[in-house]
């Protein structure tokens, strides 16, 4: 008996409302709890032109940029995860499959342990991570194309092998560092955080996520065909090699940007696309919007948990997503029949 799917538009509307309410509610949580009534008053006062209140700076300069960055990163990772699973036709694929996160970790680790790019100040680590991510993506592309093209198996194997190599390089940099705090700084960055969010840092990742979402939605029929198999896509007149190359480039750049601003946040790009397919079906036209908004809401609340569990300290986001994501993914796998790429 086929599984009943939830109606797309009502679900998307509910998730959109939930995302707005989640952002507002998240402003109340942190090292110091702010009553929700005060949060609402601070938000309404800003829009009504009233004088700034007691919590105005904390809410508008610290917590709201952080919540919005979590929203953007969650949406971006979910979309990138769905795209990556289609690119390599592998249900276990996530945005970091191609070693981009490990390449970014080398750049960030070099910035943290050697002082490279120190002249960029607060942007040194993010810039190093972005350079490492772009460099790793370029290396994977060169290796795959030199061996015959961007086929799924070459991408997966190249990504897995290079990921191990990059992780070893990052570990070596930490080992050779004279800074005793380097290991803690690198570990915290690798596990992800949006604690350094500012209004300026929001613009670039938000723009890239919007471009990614719009681009994938424009070619949603091509993605459906590619997910069914390269033979099916080719029979429909799609240039499979060009589509794979375009997907690889845009996914690599967007994931590199997201990793640069948030570190490595696992599980979001793996479990959210699967959950979206379970509730609305496998068509990319409906999967991508639902996954984006669900991923955004999920990471906003993950960040809230990271702030309050051991308050006033913070837990890296990757720890929270791992604790929540592992049992959730096992639960999803046990929910009756589920197909991806022709496999049950």
Task: Read off the pLDDT of residues 190-212 as tens digits, 9 standing for 90 and up.
Answer: 889 998 899 988 999 999 999 99
CA atoms within 13 A on the CB side of 182: 21
Which two tokens mark 245? 């190359």
Run of H or E residues at 273? helix 268-280
Q: What is the mean pLDDT of residues 253-276?
A: 91
Q: What is the pLDDT of residue 63?
A: 94
% the chain with pLDDT above 90: 49
Alpha carbons 293 and 207: distance in angstroms, whole number: 16
Enter the DSSP assignment of 343.
B
Total Cβ atoms within 10 A of residue 317? 28
**Residue 72's pLDDT band (boundaries 50, 70, 90)?**
very high
Mean pLDDT within 7-22: 96
Backbone φ and ψ for 318, nearest 5 degrees, come out as -60, -30
> Of 23, 29, 61, nearest to 307 (Cα)?
29
Q: Is 37's pLDDT higher than 60?
A: yes
The closest alpha carbon to 141, from 216, 39, 246, 215, belongs to 246
Does residue 342 have a pLDDT over 70? no
B/e letters for 162-196, b = 16+ CB within 10 Å, e = fewer, are bbebbbebbeebbeebeeeebbebbebbbbbbbbb
**Residue 343's beta-bridge partner residues?**
340
3-state helix, strand, coil in the chain (%, to 5): 75, 0, 25
The structure tokens 């709201």 sit at 64
C-alpha 209/C-alpha 217 separation (Å) is 12
d(CA 117, CA 193): 21
Which residue's structure tokens are 């990921």? 163
Compute the mean pLDDT over every residue in the chain, rounded to the nearest whole number.
Answer: 88
DSSP 123: G
For residue 7, the 8-state DSSP code is P
Q: What confidence tier does 1 reach under pLDDT thresholds 50, 70, 90? A: very low
Q: Which residues are within 8 A (CB) of 47 and not within 5 positions of it... i.e. 6 or more apart?
A: none
**Comparing 50-54, 61-65, 70-74, 211-215, which segment has the lowest mean pLDDT?**
50-54
pLDDT score of 339:
58
Provide the phi-psi class of 331: left if phi over 0, else alpha when psi is between -120 and 50, else beta: alpha
Largest CA distance in the chain: 64
Structure tokens at 257: 């940007």
Residue 307 has pLDDT above 50, yes or no: yes
Is residue 233 pLDDT above 90, yes or no? yes
Residues 295, 75 contacting (CB under 8 angstroms):
yes
Tokens standing for residue 199: 């209004």
Task: Tell whether the model's pLDDT for residue 6 goes beyond 80.
Answer: yes
Residues linked to residue 340 through DSSP beta bridges, in sequence order:
343
Q: What is the pLDDT of residues 77-129, one digit of tens each?
A: 999 999 999 998 887 788 888 888 889 999 999 988 887 787 777 788 888 99
Q: N- to C-terminal Cα distance for the chain?
A: 15
DSSP run (H or E) holding 332: helix 317-333
């Amino acid at each position: 008996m086929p599984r009943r799917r939830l109606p797309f538009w009502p679900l998307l509307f509910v998730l959109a409302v939930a995302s707005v309410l989640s952002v507002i509610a998240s402003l109340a949580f942190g090292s110091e709890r702010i009553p929700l009534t005060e949060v609402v008053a601070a938000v309404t006062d800003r829009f009504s032109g009233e004088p700034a209140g007691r919590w105005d700076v904390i809410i508008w300069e610290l917590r709201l940029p952080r919540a919005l960055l979590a929203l953007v990163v969650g949406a971006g990772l979910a979309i990138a995860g769905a795209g990556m699973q289609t690119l390599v036709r592998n249900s276990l694929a996530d945005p970091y499959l191609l070693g981009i996160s490990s390449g970014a970790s080398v750049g960030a680790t070099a910035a943290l342990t050697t002082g490279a790019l120190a002249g960029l100040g607060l942007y040194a680590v993010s810039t190093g991570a972005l350079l490492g991510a772009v460099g790793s993506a370029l290396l994977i592309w060169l290796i795959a194309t030199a061996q015959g093209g961007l086929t799924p198996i070459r991408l997966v194997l190249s990504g897995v092998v290079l990921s191990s190599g990059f992780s070893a390089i990052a570990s070596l940099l930490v080992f050779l560092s004279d800074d005793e705090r380097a290991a803690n700084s690198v570990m915290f960055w690798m596990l992800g955080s949006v604690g350094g969010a500012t209004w300026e840092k929001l613009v670039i990742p938000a723009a890239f996520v919007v471009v990614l979402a719009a681009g994938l939605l424009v070619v949603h029929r091509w993605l459906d065909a590619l997910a069914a198999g390269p033979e099916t896509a080719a029979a429909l007149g799609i240039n499979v090699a060009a589509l794979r190359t375009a997907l690889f480039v845009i996914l690599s750049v967007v994931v590199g940007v997201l990793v640069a601003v948030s570190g490595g946040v696992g599980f979001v790009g793996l479990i959210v696309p699967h959950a979206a397919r379970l509730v609305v079906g496998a068509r990319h036209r409906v999967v991508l919007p639902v996954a984006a908004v669900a991923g955004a809401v999920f990471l906003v609340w993950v960040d809230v948990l990271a702030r309050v569990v051991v308050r006033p300290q913070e837990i890296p986001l990757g720890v929270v997503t791992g604790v929540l994501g592992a049992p959730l993914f096992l639960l999803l796998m046990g929910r009756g029949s589920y197909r991806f790429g022709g496999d049950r």
